[in-house]
Structure 1
Amino acid sequence: MLVTLPNQFKTAINKMPFNVTVKKNAIKIYAALYSKSHLKNSTGFFPVPSAYLAAVNKRYYKILDYFVERGLIDYYKKAYTDDKDIFNTIYRKSYNKELGICAKYRFLVNVEVGDEVNVDMVSNRTNRWWNITENSLIEAGFDVKISRDDFGRRVWHSAIRNYKTDFQGYYTIDSQCSQPRLLYKYFKDKGINDPEYMRIFNNELDFYSEVAKKLDFTGTKESKRADAKDLFMHWINGNGYVPDFEIHNLFPIASKYLKSIKKGNYKSGGSLLQRIESKIWIDDLLTNIPCDFALPVHDSVIVKEKDVDRVLEYCKAKYPEIRFKKALLK
């Protein structure tokens, strides 16, 4: 990887009180940060997953601390009241493993000026999801443009906008009632037991239809289901407002949990589900998919007709609690 290495970093790395191997690893950690800096927000902070840094070097945190001490980088921090002195404010690095929110960093020196250095970034981190997306785009005749957002770790690529028309004759494999079921799986894995929420999925009932029935929605079957889906999205993504407040009484424990994770940022509910979704679809299913052509579309994947049944069975075997289905694009 070709990176620009500013003199400040060059000097600091040379002065590290460690051996040459550690100094070389420090260059790699700098390069890892540099490679993610294009994701920076308006205040200069950009997300860097710890798994990525650990794949570059397991003791990455010591190198980061060294860079911080030398005034070269900074962590994104949040303010907290000191438990021992309520009049004192302390600042801690902000991240949340449970919600999949990684730490953010920013450079405190200009990284656009310096020497160009070619850094060997060989690591144990698997990127097959990227490779298969790249190769599939090339095969389908699209420019290779692939990115992954920080909010939900979703993958975006150059074929995603018009995939329904551009890939007619191909198949999609997606999941039914995706986000409510993912939340059920998350609650189950975490040992969070909301009786009514769990009852719906434990009994293989249709989530939206059950919500509509329990909350006495009126209208056609389709309209009631659509209203229930809209209510769920407000419940997950909203800042307090929901079209029907009774959902909080229907799912009291789930509502309380969602309120707790939204305390710092109301968007954390939506971010959580998208990250769970991406971990399943991108980091697992796409990374290990048993075919050579596959393009991700959030909670689904596009495959060829000759591969669809094999991939469908693969998905079902991997995640039996998720209801997968195939559909022809036409």
Structure 2
Amino acid sequence: MRSYLEFEKPVADLEGKVQELKALGQNGDAVSIGDDIAKLEAKAAQALADIYTKLTPWQKTQVARHPDRPHAIHYIAALIEEWTPLAGDRNFGEDAAILAGLGRFRGRPVAVLGQEKGHDTQTRLKHNFGMAKPEGYRKAVRLMDMADRFGLPVISFVDTAGAYPGIGAEERGQAEAIARSTEACLKLSVPNVALVIGEGGSGGAIAIATANRVYMLEHSIYSVISPEGAASILWKDSARAQDAAGNMRITAQDLARIGIIDAIIKEPVGGAHRDPDVVLKAAGDVIAAALAEFDGKSPAEIKLARRQKFLAIGRELKL
């Protein structure tokens, strides 16, 4: 059963009618309904295309949060061979909100980080909805240190509403852990590539996304705070999240235009969840091309390129 967003209701109605007609056909109805099905499918496809050519920032936020959207575990399963997960920060404990491990990407040994939200109640609780605690970021630092030591490129899949803001996390040094993880990204002497595959929320995202190359899926978002959080601060009313989203420049298109990200990975019409295999392959191709750019470059050149990339942000805005 496909999940539909509120603004997709016209498509839901049409595709619902298609399913009803197909069910009639399976039940041996004598009436020829093939032409009717084809017409409705074409109408639904056109309606979907019309909607997705003019999404608002708030609608893109909803698509980025779609429950059926591919998560980090799907990218890892599709792109990483010989996946070996690593657990724990060697200090406090394990945090399942951040996946970390080693494997091979198209034959190349790599280290991988990914924020995992979970797909049902049980896994969402297990992964804390993708909101990492300090031990998650310290685990990320541990993996990046290992990658640096053994010369392994780092691939990050970013998908979080933000770092976990609970009391325990603050007591264990959440801000410091995020800062150390961001620092570890910047100090890497190996290339690192980050993909924002859903939400890129605040320091929780930048902690593993301070990379040589940062890409976003077409309908993902990336911002210093969630629209709900911004609305709560600006207007003391989280219900005005739609207004906040429209003014925050959180979409991939806005961020590419002002030079925050390097490029956009196109999604199928209707979002990544409509055809995950296409998105997973496109993501793999982008990662491969990005890593190839740094083949033959020295550790000093890789670090300098990353440093210059982030120092240049904001200097020449392409408005």
TM range (shorter): under 0.3
Task: Give TM-score scaled by structure 2 length.
Answer: 0.22
User: Higher Cα Rg: structure 1 or 2?
Assistant: 1
Higher relative contact order (CA 8 A, sep 6+): 1
| Bigger helix fraction | 2
